[in-house]
A and B are shown apart, each in its own frame.
Chain A
Amino acid sequence: EVQLVQSGAEVKKPGESLKISCKGSGYSFTSYWIGWVRQMPGKGLEWMGIIYPGDSDTRYSPSFQGQVTISADKSISTAYLQWSSLKASDTAMYYCARQDSSSSKIDYWGQGTLVTVSS
């Protein structure tokens, strides 16, 4: 069974750093892209970027380039999303999702990680 299990909810202060994780299981982790999707409170889904754990090829949405860093450790089948300096506007639910390497199909999603940034 394919599963993407994300790390737990976080409460941070503005200016702090953060790294959240997404662990894949039940499939070949290095053969699919892993993407990150933001959903701000009451708002729609926003595609942030993807990484191919097989070779760490990473693509970002222009809206998120330079704002976050996506990485992966294929030895433990885990992808990461990190911020070096959080802002209140980073408060959102963040989902990881598996994306097919030959098409654009996003077929499995993590349960989401709620990040709250507040002073």
Chain B
Amino acid sequence: SYELTQPPSVSVSPGQTARITCSGDALPKKYAYWYQQKSGQAPVLVIYEDSKRPSGIPERFSGSSSGTMATLTISGAQVEDEADYYCYSTDSSGNHRGVFGTGTKVTVL
């Protein structure tokens, strides 16, 4: 079955840049989406269609995609950005079957 692979953890100091990668074979043809999940809460969409930011999401969150890798960048990470981050996409079957990435724990300290 289709898989999206992320690094298990990323650590940054406040104000530094955090980059989270997501690797998947179908990403050249399918959009990547990024979700932030804080402890005990439902996920929140932070980036959609590779690089678009929903209203209300701080500008420090940005996304890009090239080939089989999508990247979420947090520029000037804040303590409140500490959370789990998941990429999401669909497989190449065209049947709307989704898959989440393995998840990345971002620590800001």
Residues of B within 8 A of A111 (CB): 42
Contact B88 A106 (CB under 8 A): yes
Residue of A nearest to B33 (CB): A105
A62 an interface residue at 8 Å Cβ cutoff? yes
Instruction: Give residues of chain B (87-109) contacting chain A, Cβ–Cβ below 8 Å.
Output: 88-90, 95-103
Q: Is B25 an interface residue, CB under 8 A from the partner?
A: no
Q: Give the Cβ gap from A35 to chain B, nearest Cβ, in Å.
A: 7
Q: Which of A79-116 contact B (CB under 8 A)?
A: 95, 99, 103-107, 109-112
Say how far B22's CB is from chain A's closest CB, in angstroms.
13
Q: Which residues of A contact B33 (CB under 8 A)?
A: 104-106
Q: When chains A and B are docked, how far (Å) is the Cα of A62 from the Cα of B48?
A: 25
Q: How far is the CB of A32 from chain B (nearest CB, A)?
A: 12
Contact of A104 among B35, B84, B86, B88 (CB under 8 A): B88
B54 interface hit (Cβ, 8 Å): yes
In the complex, how many angstroms separate the beta carbon of B99 from the nearest chain A beta carbon?
6
Per the CB 8 Å criterion, the residue count for chain B at the interface is: 27
Q: A47-B100, A50-B96, A59-B96 are in contact. Are A106 and B45 (CB under 8 A)?
A: yes
User: How many interface residues does A have (CB within 8 Å)?
Assistant: 24
Convert A35-78 into 0s and 1s, putting 1 for each residue whose CB lies closer than 8 angstroms to a CB of B.
10100000011110010000000011111000000000000000
Q: Which residues of B contact A61 (CB under 8 A)?
A: 1, 97-99
Q: Does B37 contact A (CB under 8 A)?
A: yes
**Closest Cβ–Cβ distance, residue A37 to chain B (whole Å):** 8
Supposing A45-B43, A59-B95, A95-B43 touch, asked if A107 and B100 sit within 8 A by C-beta, the answer is: no
Partner of B37, one of A35, A45, A47, A110: A45
Mark A residues whose CB is within 8 Å of B. Answer: 33, 35, 37, 44-47, 50, 59-63, 95, 99, 103-107, 109-112
